[in-house]
Structure 1
Amino acid sequence: MDISNSERAAVLVQALPYIKKYAGATVVVKYGGNAMINEELKDAVMSDIVLMQLVGINVVLVHGGGPEISAMLKKIGKESKFVGGMRYTDQETMDIVQQVLAGKVNKDLVQLLEAQGGKAVGLCGMDGSMLKADKLEDDLGFVGEIREVNSEIIENAAKNGYIPVVSTVASGYHGEAYNINADVAAARIAAELGAMKLILMTDVRGLLRDKEDESTIIPVVNVSDVSRLKKEGIISGGMIPKIDCCVDAVRRGVGRAHIIDGRIPHSILVELFTDEGIGTMFY
C-alpha cells in the first residue's frame, strides 16, 4: 500500500493529540493468542510497543503462553487438561508453566523488543513479591487467585527506561508457585499502577452484538451495562471472563479498558493513535 507524503503527514497530524495525551501515562498491554504465535503479527506488536515507549508512554507488557505450555507438555508426554476454560495445573504442570512462561516465552519477548530497538526487562509475578496468591477455590490444582499486587519493581524498571515484560506466575504464602490467568493479572497490575489504559489483545474483533457477524461490533460499553448485556446473551462464553477483567480494572480506577483484535497488524497503534480506534472500549 503506497501512500503519498501528504497522506503520511495527515496520519502523523491525527496522531499528535493522542501522543500528547498519553505522554508520561501508563498503558498495560495483555498479549496472547494468535498475535503471539504468528511471526509477522509478533513483529508488529513488538514494534508498536517500542514506538509507544519512544513517544513517552510507560508500557507494561503482560503475557500469557498457553500454546507454548501445551506444546511443552506434549513433548514430555503429558496431556493438557482444561476445566471450564482454565488449565488444570498439577505440580508437574506447574513446573512446566514456570519454566515456559517465566523462562522461554518471557525472555524471547525481551529479546524481540531489544531487537526492535527497545529496552526491556523480563519479570515474573514472583519477582519483588509482585503477585501474591492463594489457591483458587475451584479445584484446578496450582491455579491461584491474586491476593496482593506490589508494583514497585515494575515502576522501578519503567522509571529507568525499561519496558517491563511480565509473566503471570505468582508466589503463594507457603513457598508454592501458582499459575495466574494473564487477563486477570493484567487487570490487577493496571489497577495497581493507576494505568490510563488496559488493552487486552485477543483473537476476536471485540464484543459483537451477533457472534456470527463481525460488523456488529459494539465500540463502547459503560461498565454499568455489562450485567444487562450478559442477561441478553450478548456477553457469553469465553468473552465473560475477559469482560469481567475489563470491568474490574475500570472499577479499580483504570481510565479505560479495551478488547482489541490481535489478528490485525498494528491494532494497538490504531487503538491508541486514531480517532476511530478499534475493538470495544469499556469505561
Structure 2
Amino acid sequence: MKSPEQRRDSVIKDLVLLSCVGLRMVLVHGGGPEINSWLAKIGVEPQFINGLRVTDEVTMEVVEMVLVGKVNKSLVSLINQQGATAVGLCGKDARLLTACPAPNAAALGFVGEVSNVNPSILYPILSDGHIPVIASVAADEFGQAYNINADTAAGEIAAAVGAEKLILLTDDKNC
C-alpha cells in the first residue's frame, strides 16, 4: 500500500467482509501517531520508556481525547460506511476494563495494566451482529484514567470473551 489511509481502508474492508460472513470480532485500537501529532500541537514532546508512553496528566488528557474521541469515532464511522455496524467504546464504558498502575508507574505516570475485564457489555453487541470498537483507555476503581497498551488490552479482552483467534496489527518496526 502507498499510504496509511489505504492500509487502514483495506483493513476496514476486510473486517467488514469477515463480519458479513458471520465472524464475530472485537476491534481494539491504540493511536500512537495521532497522539504524537496532537501533543506536538500543544507543544508537548512525547517521551517513551521501553516502548511505553510516559503519561503525565496533560498527556493522559490528550490520550483520552484522541483515542476515545477522535480515533475511535473515526474507525466506527469507517466501518459503518462499509456496510457493517460498529459500536464505539473504551475500557471505561460499563467497566469493561479496570486498570491498575503499571509496576513502574513512578517513571511512566498514568500508564496502566488491565486488572479486570468485564466483557458482559460485549456479548449483546456481538450477538446482534455489531462490531465493538474499543479504545485502550481504562480507569481504576477510583475513576483515575490510565493509558493501556492496545495490544495488551486486546489480549486481555480476547481471553475474557474466549476468542478463538487474536490478530494483532501494528506499525511497530520492532515486531
TM-score range, shorter chain: over 0.9
SS at match of 1:104: helix
Residue 112 of structure 2, aligned match among 144, 149, 159: 144
Query: How is 1:99-178 mapped onto 2 (pairs within 5 angstroms)?
Result: 99-138=65-104, 139-178=107-146
Query: Which amino acid in the other structure matches residue 142 of structure 1?
Result: F
**Match runs of 1:53-92 below 5 Å:** 53-92=19-58
Kindly state the Cα deviation for residue 204 of structure 1 after the two structures are TM-superposed: 7.2
| Aligned-partner Cα distance in 1 for 2:110–2:60 | 7
SS in 1 for 2:138: strand
**TM-score relative to the length of structure 2:** 0.94
What is the deviation of 1:150? 0.6
- Partner of residue 251, structure 1: none
**Structure 1 unpaired stretches of 5+:** 1-33, 206-237, 240-283
Question: For structure 2, which runs of at least 5 residues remain unmatched after alignment?
Answer: none
Residues in 1 aligned to 2:134 and 2:155: alpha-carbon distance in whole angstroms: 13
Shift of 1:137: 1.1
Counterparts of 1:229-244 in structure 2 under 5 Å? 238-239=174-175
Report the equivalent of 1:257.
Answer: none
The separation in 2 between residues aligned to 1:91 and 1:203, in whole angstroms, is 26
Q: 1:74 to 1:49 in 2, by over 3 A?
A: same
Q: How does 1:127-276 map to 2 (within 5 A)?
A: 127-138=93-104, 139-203=107-171, 238-239=174-175
In 2, the alpha carbon distance for the partners of 1:202 and 1:76 equals 26
What CA distance in whole angstroms lies between the structure 2 residues aligned with 1:164 and 1:70? Answer: 25
Deviations 1:66-86 (A, max 9, x none): 000000000011110111111
Q: The residue matched to 2:109 in structure 1 has which SS?
A: coil
What is the identity percentage for the equivalent residue pairs of Structure 1 and Structure 2? 51
Q: Distance in 1 between matches of 2:24 and 2:100?
A: 29
Runs of 4+ in structure 1 off by over 6 angstroms are none
In structure 2, C-alpha distance between the alignment counterparts of 1:79 and 1:204, rounded to whole Å: 19
Residue 5 of structure 2 is matched in structure 1 by: 39
How big is the alpha-carbon RMSD for the aligned residues of Structure 1 and Structure 2? 1.7
Q: Which has the higher contact order (CA 8 A, sep 6+)?
A: 2
The alpha carbon displacement at 1:45 in A equals: 0.6
Instruction: Report how far residue 202 of structure 1 moved.
Output: 2.5
Displacement of 1:107 in angstroms is 0.2
2:170 and 2:102 map into 1 onto residues whose CA distance is: 24
